[in-house]
């Protein structure tokens, strides 16, 4: 007996997604970076990978996770005083002076645009009581979002023992960080003025040279140290396609990222997303099959995606696993998510009765089942 019984097969065809002629997969570009990855930022699907799961020193691309923790846990409008310790951090600088007062939003601008290590230290000590605690929060956040090859010990990315990540993890960190409107705004800005409370402002320019030179570029972060080499996390959008490229230990980071993005936009016909909570079928007794987790894939080279739904045989308890939904590209499973039955049967039961006996049931008269 088959473990699952086929319930439905839904094909997403022309009209539902941007049309592209079915074509042979173009050859991936030649790049010089030691590690790289290209993902569709909406679906999360990996389009290109080269040593993407190898531990690497990330340099200032670390600051994307610093920003994510700060935006989630801090108050952007609150004013903080720059400490002597923050102002003295070596390396790239946003030119903060001890005693100057900035909002957390402004400190994030100095950190993400100018890549200021002083600003990164100030952000961390504004959000957490000390540096070790902020690092713990960074690592907890990394694990929570699925970046499990990441371990950071500082907020700026200066080379340190036990401070590492991978190209794959950085793509995930960028994917989640760019869901925050404030981070998107900052990393897409080419120039801003940083003004301390009661003082004179000074202009800061974004270190990301793709902004203004690559069509669709909208962030995200550069990084350079002797150990890490030249690194870049690059985000770009064209029409309904959003791509993220990560290149680490590269000699030509902007060229490598541009070539990966060009190749991705040539192939990517857009994401297909089925949101969590969508009803994808019904059991014989009328109970719905509900998608328990977001399902997403990418239309590549004009090849459509299909959604196949299968359910478990036998009696199924309320709120339990009822089957799986599989997103297919040809014979390849792109994504899989569980299907569940409702925890409380009231909604589907009432709906069934109303369909059978219209007007016979007053929803207000039913208090519990």
Say yes or no: 240 and 297 in one domain.
Answer: no
Looking at the structure of the chain, the number of domains it has is 2
Say yes or no: 220 and 285 in one domain.
Answer: no
Contact predicate 45/39, CB 8 Å: yes
* Average pLDDT for 256-263: 95
Domain boundary among 189, 220, 251: 251
User: Rounded distance, CA 367 to CA 359, Å?
Assistant: 18
Is 168 catalytic? The answer is: no
Does residue 362 have a pLDDT over 50?
no
CATH number at residue 208: 3.40.710.10
Answer yes or no: is 95 within a domain.
Answer: yes
Say yes or no: 283 and 234 in one domain.
Answer: no
Select the more confidently predicted residue: 16 or 93.
93
Calculate ∠ Cα 103-105-109, nearest 5°: 115
Say yes or no: 108 and 201 in one domain.
Answer: yes
Say yes or no: 115 and 195 in one domain.
Answer: yes
Number of alpha carbons in the 13 Å side-chain half-sphere of residue 334? 27
First CA to last CA distance, the chain: 36
Say yes or no: 236 and 335 in one domain.
Answer: no
User: Rounded distance, CA 320 to CA 333, Å?
Assistant: 23
CA dihedral 247, 219, 259, 39 (to 10 degrees): 70
Does residue 188 have a pLDDT over 90?
yes
Burial class (CB in 10 A: 0-12, 13-18, 19+), 330: exposed
User: Rounded distance, CA 167 to CA 170, Å?
Assistant: 5
**Which pLDDT value is given to residue 164?**
97
**Which pLDDT value is given to residue 75?**
94
Is 115 catalytic? The answer is: yes
Answer yes or no: is 51 within a domain.
Answer: yes
pTM of the model as a whole: 0.80
Question: Tell me, what DSSP letter sits at residue 134?
Answer: H
Answer yes or no: is 133 within a domain.
Answer: yes
Domain boundary among 217, 251, 285: 251
User: Rounded distance, CA 369 to CA 148, Å?
Assistant: 43
Contact predicate 311/322, CB 8 Å: yes
Share of the chain above pLDDT 90, in %: 62
Residue 16 banded pLDDT, cuts 50, 70, 90:
very low
* Tokens describing residue 359: 């007007």
Say yes or no: 96 and 160 in one domain.
Answer: yes
Question: Tell me, what DSSP letter sits at residue 202?
Answer: E
Would you call the peptide bond into 366 cis, given omega within 30 degrees of 0 as the criterion? no
How remote is the C-alpha of 154 from its chain's centroid? 21
Say yes or no: 236 and 314 in one domain.
Answer: no
| Bridge partners for 10 per DSSP | 307
Answer yes or no: is 268 within a domain.
Answer: no
Provide the domain limits for residue 39. Answer: 35-251
**Which pLDDT value is given to residue 24?**
59
Say yes or no: 78 and 154 in one domain.
Answer: yes
Catalytic residue among 43, 86, 92, 115: 115
User: Rounded distance, CA 252 to CA 266, Å?
Assistant: 21
* Tokens describing residue 135: 């690092």
Say yes or no: 109 and 207 in one domain.
Answer: yes
Catalytic residue among 33, 57, 63, 249: 63
Does residue 345 have a pLDDT over 80?
no
Say yes or no: 57 and 171 in one domain.
Answer: yes
Rg (CA), the chain: 24
Catalytic residue among 33, 43, 60, 126: 60
Does residue 341 have a pLDDT over 80?
yes
Answer yes or no: is 176 within a domain.
Answer: yes
Domain boundary among 217, 236, 251: 251
* Average pLDDT for 72-94: 95
Contact predicate 47/208, CB 8 Å: no
């Amino acid at each position: 007996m088959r473990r699952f019984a086929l319930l439905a097969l839904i094909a997403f065809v022309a009209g539902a997604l941007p049309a592209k002629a079915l074509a042979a997969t173009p050859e991936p570009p030649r790049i010089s970076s030691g590690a790289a990855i290209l993902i569709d930022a909406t679906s999360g699907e990996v389009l290109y990978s080269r040593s993407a799961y190898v531990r690497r020193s990330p340099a200032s691309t670390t600051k994307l996770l610093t920003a994510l923790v700060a935006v989630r846990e801090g108050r952007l409008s609150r004013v903080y005083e720059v400490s002597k310790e923050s102002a003295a951090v070596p390396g790239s600088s946003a030119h903060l002076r001890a005693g100057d007062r900035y909002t957390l939003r402004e400190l994030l601008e100095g950190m993400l645009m100018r890549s200021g290590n002083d600003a990164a230290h100030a952000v961390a000590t504004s959000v957490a009581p000390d540096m070790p605690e902020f690092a713990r929060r960074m690592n907890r956040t990394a694990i929570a979002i699925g970046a499990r090859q990441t371990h950071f010990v500082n907020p700026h990315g200066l080379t340190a023992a036990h401070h590492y990540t991978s190209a794959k993890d950085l793509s995930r960190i960028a994917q989640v960080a760019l869901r925050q409107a404030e981070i998107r705004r900052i990393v897409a800005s080419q120039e801003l003025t940083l003004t301390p409370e009661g003082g004179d402002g000074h202009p800061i320019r974004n270190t990301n040279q793709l902004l203004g030179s690559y069509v669709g570029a909208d962030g995200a972060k550069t990084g350079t140290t002797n150990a890490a080499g030249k690194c870049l996390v690059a985000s770009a959008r064209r029409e309904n396609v959003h791509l993220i490229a990560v290149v680490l230990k590269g000699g030509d980071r902007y060229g490598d990222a541009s070539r990966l993005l060009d190749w991705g936009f040539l192939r990517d016909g857009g994401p297909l997303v089925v949101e969590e909570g969508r009803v994808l079928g019904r059991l014989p007794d009328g109970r719905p099959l509900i998608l328990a987790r977001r399902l997403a894939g990418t239309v590549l080279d004009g090849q459509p995606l299909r959604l196949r739904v299968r359910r478990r045989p036998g009696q199924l308890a309320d709120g339990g696993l009822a089957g799986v939904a599989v997103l297919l590209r040809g014979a390849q499973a792109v994504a899989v998510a569980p299907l569940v039955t409702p925890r409380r049967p009231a909604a589907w039961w009432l709906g069934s009765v109303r369909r059978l006996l219209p007007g016979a049931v007053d929803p207000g008269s039913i208090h519990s089942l």
